[in-house]
Amino acid sequence: MVTEGFTAELVAVVPWDDEHTGVTSSFTDHPAHSWRVPEHTRRARSPVRLRLDRDGGFHLLGDDPSVLHLDGTGTPVGRTPVAGRILDYVCDPAGGVVLIEGADDEPRLRALAGDGSERWSVGGRFTKVLATGDRLYVHGDPGTLEVDPTTGAAGPILPVRGGEPFGGGGKLVSVTFDDASQRRGVAVFDPATGESTEFTGGADHYPWLVDPFGADGRARLFVWWDGRIARVPVTGEIDALGAVDGIAVRDRTVFTSHGAGEHVVVQGNGMQARLPVAGLRLVGVDADSRVYLLGGEGPGSAGELRVYAADGHLESSGPPPEDLAAIGSRMPVHTAWQVDHEGRVTIPVGTPGGVALVRLRSAGTPIGSPPGRTT
């Protein structure tokens, strides 16, 4: 299924609350700020965290104290018990987990074997753990450090510029910001050679480089802006990949939506509907191909749910039901998306039946090319 520059495919659906092959379901209030008017609060599915390993496996962490491991086909292959509040984590193909655990002011970096036994544990002010190739890194105060994966011993601070880095192709990729010029850019550090390469972008780059969420095997940064996705290599091109702001899954078929001016375009299973409403996103498609769009949430407002027939005719419009989890799919914010070595984006979508792993693939189109520089 092709959607605005993407091919969307369903990798797997992981069921809720299955002790062997599933993740524990939990619920949250939606929208989060609607506590001001309690009658506008809706019950929605809590997001499930996802990580990819270097071999293309998937690793899911819900509210239950374990990480569920799936191979590259989406088949469950094991589960690793964890405990405590998990701030961040990475996994290897054998089911080993390295995680940051604890309160924000007293975190610990811990390595667990596949059976949950502790291999090592060290303290530190860490905010992110990442792996690229066979190397392990942590980021926090005072910076980015490489960690020995067998002992937890940390090396010296690496000269990584910018904010929290992403791993891709054995390199560390981050967004930079110049206070004097108010310009953003991309920096790539290669730990194997010690070489740093970066560029500083112009006005076109600024909005794209506010929300990075991953990097691929060619150390290209993947970024999000207003429902659209692009990748930016250190040579500076902005490769606009496409737009996705809503995903729904029905009978193992993926449907997506994206904004197009004053319309919302919904695609999937051979259908393409251009609906005359802006600012709403897809949350469901039923057995009769009715399309459910939700939007307009805000302080004191539960939002609006519109239902369109397969021919594009508006059937109903009004406040959403109290239990959104029972009728709709919920796509997490872009910070929960994962990028693999090939540049495919995987999104863990909460559906009534389980967590759907939806993968987007795109070739992209370059638009602009400022030069890079090596330091």
pLDDT score at 317: 96
Look at residue 371 and tell me whether its pLDDT is greater than 90. Answer: no
Q: Report the 10 Å Cβ neighbour count for 194.
A: 9
Look at residue 373 and tell me whether its pLDDT is greater than 60. Answer: no
pLDDT score at 40: 87
pLDDT score at 334: 94
CA distances in angstroms from 5 to 229, 230, 251, 282, listed in the order given: 10, 11, 23, 18
Of 195, 187, 235, the C-alpha closest to 212 is 187
pLDDT score at 270: 84
Look at residue 4 and tell me whether its pLDDT is greater than 60. Answer: no
Average pLDDT, the chain: 91
pLDDT score at 104: 60
Sheet bearing 253-260, strands edge to edge: 246-250, 253-260, 263-268, 271-275
Is the separation of the CB atoms in 309 and 273 below 8 Å?
no
Is the separation of the CB atoms in 168 and 343 below 8 Å?
no
Of 206, 156, 146, the C-alpha closest to 176 is 206
Question: Taking residues 248-252, what's their average pLDDT?
Answer: 92
- Which domains, and CATH codes, for the chain? 1-46+253-330 (no CATH), 48-158 (2.40.128.630)
- Contacts by residues 226-229 (CB-CB < 8 Å, ≥ 24 positions apart): 227/258, 227/259, 229/334, 229/345, 229/360, 229/362
pLDDT score at 342: 94
Distance CA 59, CA 52 (A): 6
Q: What is the pLDDT of residues 100-123, one digit of tens each?
A: 998 666 899 999 999 999 999 999
Look at residue 364 and tell me whether its pLDDT is greater than 60. Answer: no
Of 140, 148, 137, 81, the C-alpha closest to 107 is 140
pLDDT score at 277: 92
Q: What is the pLDDT of residues 170-228, one digit of tens each?
A: 999 999 999 999 999 999 999 999 999 999 999 999 999 999 999 999 999 999 999 99
Question: Taking residues 85-95, what's their average pLDDT?
Answer: 95
| Strand partners of residue 281 | 294
Distance CA 12, CA 23 (A): 13
Q: What is the pLDDT of residues 306-355, one digit of tens each?
A: 999 988 999 999 999 999 999 989 999 999 999 999 999 999 999 999 99
Look at residue 161 and tell me whether its pLDDT is greater than 90. Answer: yes
Tell me the three state secondary structure of residue 55.
coil
